[in-house]
Chains A and B, each alone.
Chain A
Amino acid sequence: MQIRRFFFDKITGFWMVAALVTILLLPVIIGIGLYMKASPIVSQQLFFHLIFSSKWAPSLGEFGFWPFIAGSLYVTFLSFLFTAPVCLLSAIYLTQFSTKQLIRVMHPVIDVLAGLPSVIYGVWGILVIVPFVSRIMAPFFNTTSSGYSILAGGIVLAVMCIPYTLNMLIEVFNTVPKGLREASLSLGATFWELVKHVVIRGNYPGIISAYGLGIAKAFGETIAVMMVVGNVVKISGNPFDAAYPLPALIANNYGEMLSIPMYDSALMFAAFLLLIIILIINLFFRYLIHKTKRQ
């Protein structure tokens, strides 16, 4: 009996360690795997040339990722512009002003918003946002647009990222100590002054991290953006033009990538790039959050 227990302990203990190590090594393994697949193109062309060249002609062997990176940055930036105020204000309202009932309603709402698959957001974007951009926004700014544009991508992305950022902001704001609140109220501050000077100022790192993580999520989002952003390889400053973000490039071309030399390697390089960028953003902002939490 004792021996059986001993072996049970050893075996399951080993299983637990192995599982944990596997998960922790996952990003490293993914990184190595993608890099190995991408190595032909990295060894053939300069790293910076790959990233900053804007010539994209796979059949000629020209792989410049700049249009895609620029497209991704633009869409992400727009989505951040829409997400930031909405998330900040709703997080403030939910943690400072709202009734218990509203919070009880909002929890499942945020859950469902966060759980809806990106395809559904894409469908919604095609049904609502794309016509909205082409029929209302574009005439309003005196331009024409098919609707499949950077702006549409930004709006859809914003809606997708709101629950994610909002959840983190709520967590951050909930850490404000009660004593601090009471002290500031007893000194005659209005509720809004309390929010301005205590809740927001005291949580700068937390707020910035929540935004940063939201941006990272927006940067890697694929299907929903791909469905509404138009997918045209060019660099444009006009939000009513189409763009071609990095994740969409990978997703759109998996079919033909084995028929053109170096194409698969280029796409794997794109995935590698995406992984590195997002991991760095994540590690940085998560570090900020963990550091502030410990204080």
Chain B
Amino acid sequence: MRRIKILEEKFFVILSAFMTYSLIAVLGFIILVIFVKGYSALDWDMVLKTPKGGYYYGGEGGVLNAIVGSVYIAFGATLIAIFIGMPAALYINVQLVRYKRTQNTIRYFLDALWGIPSIVYGAFGFALMLFFGMNASLLAGIITVALLISPIMVRTFDEVLSTIPKGLHEASLALGSTRTETAFKVMFKQGFPGFITAVLLSFGRGIGDAASVLFTAGYTDRVPTNLDEPAATLPLAIFFQLGSPIPEVRDRAFASSIILTVIILIISLTARYLSKRYSKTNLK
């Protein structure tokens, strides 16, 4: 009996260890495949040039338009998300700190909001665009992505703010500062690592999301210079190039995937590193 138990345990421990390590292997495998496939087509032209004539038939050029477009959209959207998300998260943790039930209900709705798929935001952005008579443009893309990432921003920032000890909050109020001063000068400073993580996460989400900008940002071979111009994005560039029957163009799609993967890797590893580093210097 005892032996069967031990055998059973051994079996499941090994099986679950295998599953866990296989996750690392899968990540390695994904990144490896992308790099091996795209490496041959990756050169500085890819990163530094916009598509020239005949690019989509194997001609010269690169995906600078898409890189810049993606960065513009993610950057603009993150700014808007900060503008909406940061005060909202502070409000939950300062003004509402006495109302536990309200806090929990709000968090509950925010969590549910997080689950809405980006294609729904995309469709809504499109409806909004038609409503205001706009064309597919940088601005429309920015607004749509901003809606998409605001809940992420609030929830991530809020998660860190909620761990700040209450004493700090009380001390600040006892010294005669108003609630908003407490929020922006004390809580914001203490929660800064969380803020950085939230910003980076939202930025990464914004740069990698394709479904929401599919309708709203349009696509162009030029680098956008104005808010009402259409803008290309990196995920869509990959998607469109993959649809081509010409092998050179498909190879470039893989090379573009490397660029996107590297950007995402840098963002998520920086977020982790920074949040760790800042949290060391903070009160616990």
Contacts and interface: CB of A to CB of B under 8 A. Distances in A.
B272 A111 contact: yes
A20 B108 contact: no
A98 B95 contact: no
A138 B7 CA distance: 35
A78 B113 CA distance: 25
B264 A116 contact: yes
Interface in A100-114: 102, 105-113
Given A86-B19, A282-B111, A116 B208 contact: yes
B26 A159 contact: yes
Contacts of A120: 30, 34, 208, 257, 260-261, 264
B183 interface: yes
Q: Which of A115, A123, A191, A217 has the most CB of B within 10 A?
A: A123
Interface in B173-230: 178-181, 183-184, 201, 204-205, 207-211, 214-215
Interface string B112-136: 1101111111111011101100000
A-side binding surface: helix, strand, loop or mixed? Answer: helix
B141 interface: no
A207 interface: no
B88 A271 contact: no
B48 interface: no
A157 interface: no
A176 interface: no
Contact of A30 (B92, B124, B268): B124
Contacts of B131: 33
Nearest to B273: A108
A283 interface: yes
A190 interface: yes
23 contacts: A8-B181, A15-B87, A20-B91, A23-B110, A23-B113, A23-B154, A27-B113, A30-B121, A34-B127, A89-B15, A90-B16, A93-B13, A97-B13, A111-B272, A116-B264, A119-B239, A121-B30, A123-B253, A220-B115, A222-B211, A278-B117, A283-B112, A286-B108
Given A111-B272, A278-B115, 11 more contacts: A89-B16, A113-B27, A117-B260, A119-B260, A120-B264, A128-B33, A190-B5, A250-B122, A251-B119, A254-B214, A286-B111
Interface of B: 5-6, 8-9, 12-13, 15-17, 19-20, 22-24, 26-27, 29-30, 33-34, 37, 83-88, 90-92, 95, 104, 106-113, 115-124, 126-128, 130-131, 147, 150-151, 154, 178-181, 183-184, 201, 204-205, 207-211, 214-215, 235, 238-239, 242, 253-254, 257, 260-261, 264-265, 267-269, 271-272
